[in-house]
Structure 1
């Protein structure tokens, strides 16, 4: 019995919740998964999983073996990476997951500059605001906005701050007037992002704490689309400063109510706490810290 393969199969069964789904992930038959699992339990002399026709659950031994088995697989992955990374720096592939607007506005252009310095590094950039597990999904680097999960076992390098801007086009303000106080927004056409929360309201600083205000009249799940609506005179926009800073600088959008803007949020580069950190990851993080310092300064 290949013990490493058996551990991989067992971990896949637990992670995926069934033999069938584990088989799909491993691209083998369910019968093969069941056979390997039975061999592993025979080898260990304990039952790892209680199985019925409807569900499965870990025994105490299974729970302990799962935790240790995952560590074994991670250590093996790190050991392999530490060797192959030294030999394949020139042909390395770096997979990056980044928050959508951050990636569109800053990270994608920065990666172009990084690739000029490292022309043989193949970059794969995926933009998403969803939760990502770098170990399970195979990412080398995560770039995220906001407070960190205290239980997240990742190295976190702060790159700077993510600031918001509230603005509208001169054409809109000429027709509807310029709000001088946050309470004036109730009579304005406000643009909301569906990604933020269910009501798609803005969290403006009213008093000592952020409060949802007001309800949006136009909704979209895409920040650049909302920017276009605002540029066309469709309403007042609350979006990341990096998305609209050129519009504000050119006068296409006018900043509003700056005393009520939400507090800035930190931007972090996150990567696995490997015993042997990959040189390609360290190189990219150092590059981002250096090149984005002026843009993301406090």
Structure 2
């Protein structure tokens, strides 16, 4: 029975990924091992499930019928595990999470570390990257995203709040160059840019009259990493675009000063997303609940 289920799981993964090599990578197996499982499964069933060429693969008619039933059977097994899981007091197992760099370091990781302390049987792997990850293809249980969500019928999401952005600088920089009061005053200042796909993001700023205007600034220095921008601002290099919650932390220590508060548009929504499923594992539900309970207060702290 165990070998039978292993074969079924591997077969479904091969179909879902569209590749023996990708299925092997996701399952931490060799391509040869995956191929052997499929061959044994076809031999046991007495039918060919997949048409294979050197470049592609496709389901046979028998393979499609078998795949449809395997998916339903695995869903029932998932439901059974979820029912057992819901009866446990303690979440357990491995939870794979992907989070953005600055927000992940300062906000998400502390919440998940607290969760790990509460539940010793819970193993949490945190990938900290600003790269847009494919939740399902890369096998993540949870992903935190800053910015608009791409439409997806395969993902569920819950809001963690809204990230506003402000302009900040070190007291030393402002003492040398003065404090700008409006968008026009930004002209001529040294600024640190946030890079996305190699391009500096424009400064669309709410002016003193409430109108949104694009600041005429020419960044001399740019980073695709928020901590790099913070470090440059702390070193007195210039004005910096920073998430308001992050700037507030350095303002409390006196290392940075808010020059124009919550002035960038558009603001960015923050969500936690996960693969849709009829049954949500206890480990995933506990992590979602912890993030929803704690993250909004961290964002609101910048407003107080």
> Normalised by the shorter chain, which TM-score bucket?
0.7 to 0.9
Residue 270 of structure 2 corresponds to which residue in structure 1? 267
Query: Which residues of 2 match residues 214-229 of structure 1 at below 5 A?
Result: 214-229=217-232
Tell whether the 8 Å contact from 2:85 to 2:282 is kept in structure 1 after alignment. Answer: no
RMSD: 3.8
- Of the structure 1 ranges 203-212 and 281-290, higher mean CA displacement relative to structure 2 is found in 203-212
What is the rounded CA distance, in whole Å, between the counterparts of 1:74 and 1:188 in structure 2? 58
Choose from 15, 29, 32 the match for 1:30.
32
Shift of 1:234: 0.5
Structure 2 unaligned blocks of 5 or more: none
Residue 231 of structure 1 corresponds to which residue in structure 2? 234
Residue 148 of structure 2 corresponds to which residue in structure 1? 147
What is the rounded CA distance, in whole Å, between the counterparts of 1:37 and 1:210 in structure 2? 63
What is the rounded CA distance, in whole Å, between the counterparts of 2:142 and 2:178 in structure 1? 45
What is the rounded CA distance, in whole Å, between the counterparts of 1:211 and 1:73 in structure 2? 53
Tell whether the 8 Å contact from 2:183 to 2:213 is kept in structure 1 after alignment. Answer: no
Choose from 280, 290, 294 the match for 1:291.
294
What is the rounded CA distance, in whole Å, between the counterparts of 2:31 and 2:95 in structure 1? 31
Tell whether the 8 Å contact from 2:95 to 2:123 is kept in structure 1 after alignment. Answer: yes
Residue 164 of structure 2 corresponds to which residue in structure 1? 163
SS in 2 for 1:292: helix
What is the rounded CA distance, in whole Å, between the counterparts of 1:40 and 1:212 in structure 2? 64
Structure 1 unaligned blocks of 5 or more: none
SS in 1 for 2:237: coil
Change in CA separation of 1:288 and 1:79 when aligned onto 2, cut-off 3 Å: same
Tell whether the 8 Å contact from 2:42 to 2:49 is kept in structure 1 after alignment. Answer: no
Change in CA separation of 1:39 and 1:116 when aligned onto 2, cut-off 3 Å: closer
Tell whether the 8 Å contact from 2:99 to 2:143 is kept in structure 1 after alignment. Answer: yes
Pairing 1:249–2:266 present:
no
Query: Which residues of 2 match residues 87-166 of structure 1 at below 5 A?
Result: 89=90, 91-166=92-167
What is the rounded CA distance, in whole Å, between the counterparts of 2:165 and 2:199 in structure 1? 19
Change in CA separation of 1:241 and 1:45 when aligned onto 2, cut-off 3 Å: same
Residue 192 of structure 1 corresponds to which residue in structure 2? 193
Shift of 1:10: 3.9
Choose from 256, 275, 280 the match for 2:283.
280
Shift of 1:261: 1.5
